[in-house]
Structure 1
Amino acid sequence: MRTLLPTGACVVLLLAGCSESADIPAPDDVAAVPADAERTASGLASRVIVEGSGATHPAATDTVEVHYTGWTTDGAMFDSSVARGETAEFPLNRVIAGWTEGLQLMVTGETRRLWIPEDLAYGGRSGAPAGMLVFDVQLVRIEGR
Structure 2
Amino acid sequence: MEKPSIDAPQEPAPVDLVVRDITVGEGAEAVAGGYVKVHYLGVDFESGEEFDSSWDRGEAAEFPLAGLIEGWQEGIPGMKVGGRRELIIPPVKAYGPAGGGHPLSGRTLIFVIDLLDAR
Tell whether the structures are fold-level matches, with TM greater than 0.5.
yes
1:94 aligns with 2:94: no
Unpaired runs of at least 5, structure 2: none
* Partner Cα separation in structure 2 for residue 119 and residue 109 of structure 1: 29
* Bigger RCO of structures 1 and 2 (CA < 8 A, at least 6 apart): 2
- Paired position in structure 1 for 2:44: 72
1:25–1:77 Cα contact (<8 Å) kept: no
Q: What's 2:103 paired with? A: 128
Number of aligned residues: 113
- Aligned partners of 2:79 and 2:12: how far apart in 1? 19
TM-fit CA distance, 1:126 = 1.4
Name the SS for the 1:126 alignment partner. Answer: coil
Whether 1:82 aligns to 2:58 is no
User: Which consecutive unaligned segments of at least 5 residues does structure 1 have?
Assistant: 1-23
Q: Which amino acid aligns with 1:71?
A: V
User: Bigger shift: 111-120 or 57-66?
Assistant: 57-66
1:31/1:68 CA distance change after superposition, 3 Å: farther
Percent identity between matched residues is 38
| 1:36-57 CA-partner distances (Å, limit 9, x unpaired) | xxx9xx9210211122122x43
Structure-1-length-normalised TM-score? 0.69
Q: TM-score, normalised by structure 2?
A: 0.82
